[in-house]
Amino acid sequence: MATPWPRRATWPTPLREHATSLGTFLHDVLEAIEPNGSQTVPADLAGDVIRGALTLVLKTQHTPDLDTVRDALAVAQTEAKTNAEQTAQALDQIKGELKNTVDIVQLVAANMQQNASTVEETRAAAKEATQVGKATLEMVREIKNKAPQQQRTNGPTSYAAAAAR
C-alpha cells in the first residue's frame, strides 16, 4: 500500500504565516516518512519542501533587521530630543529678548511723556518770559516818554521812582 503523502498548500505571503505553514508541512512529511523508514520521498514532495524552505529563507533575508530599525529609532529619538532642547533654549532666549524690548518700550514711553510735560512747562515759561519782556518794554517806553517832561519840571528821575509810577 502506498503512503499517503501530505498535500502542499500555497505558501502565504506574510513571513510568520509562511513559517507556520512550512513547519506544519515539514512535520506532516516527517510523520509520513518515519513509519515507512525505507520508502523514498517522491520528488515533487521533496521539491515542495525545498521550495517552501527556500522561499522562507529569502523572505527572512529581505526582512529588515530589527536591530538596525531599533538603532535608527534610537538615533531619531536622540536627534528629536536634542532638537526639542535647542528649540526650548531658543524660545527662552526669544522670551527674554521680548521682555527686554517691552521694558525698553515702556521706558521710552515714560521718557516721551516726561519730555512732553517738560516741553509744555518750557512753552509756558517762554510765554511768561515773553509777556514779562513786553511789559518791561512797555515800562521802558513809558519812562522814556515821561522822562523829558519830568526833567523839565522836577529834574532827573530815578529808575525806582519811574518804576513806582
| Band of residue 1 on the pLDDT scale cut at 50, 70, 90 | very low
Q: Write the pLDDT tens digit of every residue in 69-101.
A: 899 999 999 999 999 999 999 999 999 999 999
Name the grid cell of 159.
Answer: 529808575
Average pLDDT of the chain? 82
Q: Is 81 or 140 the better-scoring residue by pLDDT?
A: 81
Cα separations in angstroms, 18 against 12, 15, 69, 101, 105 = 5, 5, 22, 67, 72
Which amino acid belongs to residue 104? I
Gap between the Cα atoms of 41 and 45, Å rounded: 7
Q: What does the pLDDT look like over 48-58, one tens digit per residue? A: 878 888 887 88
Residue 155, pLDDT score? 58
In the block, cell 523829558 appears at: 148
**Based on the number of CB atoms within 10 Å of its own CB, is 143 exposed (0-12), middle (13-18) or buried (19 or more)?**
middle
pLDDT at position 98 is: 97
Confidence grade of residue 6 (pLDDT, cut at 50, 70, 90): low
Cα distances from 1 to residues 29, 39, 127, in angstroms, run 17, 11, 135
- pLDDT at residue number 8: 63
Percent of the chain with pLDDT over 70: 79
Q: Between 164 and 53, where is the model more confident?
A: 53
The Cα–Cα gap between 153 and 59 comes to 138
Q: Which residues have CB under 8 Å from 11's CB, separation 6+? A: 18, 21, 22, 51, 52, 55, 56
Residue extents of the structural domains in the chain: 15-63
Q: Is the pLDDT of residue 150 over 70?
A: no
> Which of residues 89 and 61 earns the better pLDDT score?
89
